[in-house]
Amino acid sequence: MSLLVVGSIAIDSIETPFGKAEEVLGGSAVYIALAAGYFSAPVRLVGVVGSDFPKKYVEFLEEKDIDVDGLQIIPDGKTFRWGGRYHYDMNVRDTLYTELNVFEHFNPELPPNYRKVSYVCLGNIDPVLQEQVLLQMEHPRLVVGDTMNFWIERKRAELLKTLSMIDVLVLNDSETRLLAQEPNLIKAARTIIGMGPRFVIIKKGEHGALLISEKMFFSAPAYPIEVINDPTGAGDAFAGGLIGWIAKTDDQSEENLKRAVIYGSVMASFCVERFGVDRLKDLTYLEIQNRFRSFRELSRFDEETIFP
């Protein structure tokens, strides 16, 4: 099944207590597309870069079977740049700079063959741009969307409009509370379901993820990773594994969404092992499958009870 990904395409500079990476390929769409591509290729990419965007990065995306027909390259434009520094507690991150550059005037225009695509993943960008993409699609079967504090605070009305067109919303815990204006995560998720999405997925970083619909609740375990070098893009890799699995199987049942949440967690757990997109470059299917099985083992227990 075909899959479309829209989001930022960036040149990132990242510092963590374990090292740094300067001017590397990043952006929400890149992480999503790389992770999703292991399940459902080719991924159709929609985004914008400037003429300073290294040609080797475009070639790399093509090598990974990512369709770049929807990538706009603006002559004399400067690519979106983001810099981040993580603390020893890697849940804490300082954004050093966000230079929107070509993103400020981005007008996503879908090539005709992108409009019929069945599965869509909206990476974290301005909700107005997310809506613009959806309005060009013919009949998507499922739309997964991501957002962040920045848009919840600054473009709430626009975000609420886009939310009415999203089936599965992926957020972290603080974004969930902020959007719903409710401290309890389960109540907050149900409030968000009232805004449009059928499912809300709350990513809790190293503590796993929750999948919530009006009637069901599923808690995915956290994988005990011993080597974490760089958490950048983990949330996007999660969204990529999730939509990639749903597109591959073309199955939106609740049971399959649970599997998709685990595949999302698998891709996020790989992502953090190395800097930038490095670990997502050359995974094998065997590695992905083995980690999926390890996730299952993590929360499996038998039904014996000590009570009479």
What residues line the site for ligand AMP (CB under 6 A)? 8, 10, 12, 26-28, 82, 98, 124-125, 150, 232-233, 235-236
Name the strand (E) or helix (H) holding 271. helix 254-271
142 to each of 78, 82, 168, 271, 291, how far by Cα in Å?
33, 30, 8, 25, 26
Of the pair 2, 222, the CB lying nearest ligand AMP is at 222
In whole angstroms, how close is the CB of 182 to ligand AMP at the nearest point? 23
In whole angstroms, how close is the CB of 183 to ligand AMP at the nearest point? 22
Of the pair 149, 184, the CB lying nearest ligand AMP is at 149
In whole angstroms, how close is the CB of 216 to ligand AMP at the nearest point? 26
Alpha helices (H) along 52-97: 55-63
Of the pair 41, 100, the CB lying nearest ligand AMP is at 100
Of the pair 49, 262, the CB lying nearest ligand AMP is at 49
For 195-233, b where at least 16 C-beta lie within 10 A, e where not — what string? ebbebbbbbbbbebbbbbbeeeebbbbbbeeeebbbbbb
Look up residue 103 and give its two tokens.
Answer: 């993103």
Of the pair 118, 171, the CB lying nearest ligand AMP is at 171
In whole angstroms, how close is the CB of 199 to ligand AMP at the nearest point? 19
Whole-angstrom Cα distance, residue 126 to residue 46?
Answer: 14
| Total residue count of the chain as it appears in this document | 308
Of the pair 27, 50, the CB lying nearest ligand AMP is at 27
Whole-angstrom Cα distance, residue 161 to residue 94?
Answer: 29
CB-CB contact of 242 with 203 (8 Å): no
- Strands of 3-6's sheet in order across: 66-74, 43-50, 3-6, 119-122, 142-146, 168-172, 199-203, 209-212, 217-220
Of the pair 118, 264, the CB lying nearest ligand AMP is at 264
In whole angstroms, how close is the CB of 205 to ligand AMP at the nearest point? 10
In whole angstroms, how close is the CB of 153 to ligand AMP at the nearest point? 12
Residue closest to ligand AMP (Cβ): 26
In whole angstroms, how close is the CB of 98 to ligand AMP at the nearest point? 5
**Does the N-terminal peptide bond of residue 42 adopt cis geometry, omega within 30 degrees of 0?**
yes
In whole angstroms, how close is the CB of 140 to ligand AMP at the nearest point? 21
44 to each of 30, 51, 304, how far by Cα in Å?
11, 21, 48
Whole-angstrom Cα distance, residue 269 to residue 225?
Answer: 7
CB-CB contact of 277 with 34 (8 Å): yes
At residue 70, the 3 state secondary structure works out as strand
Of the pair 134, 186, the CB lying nearest ligand AMP is at 134
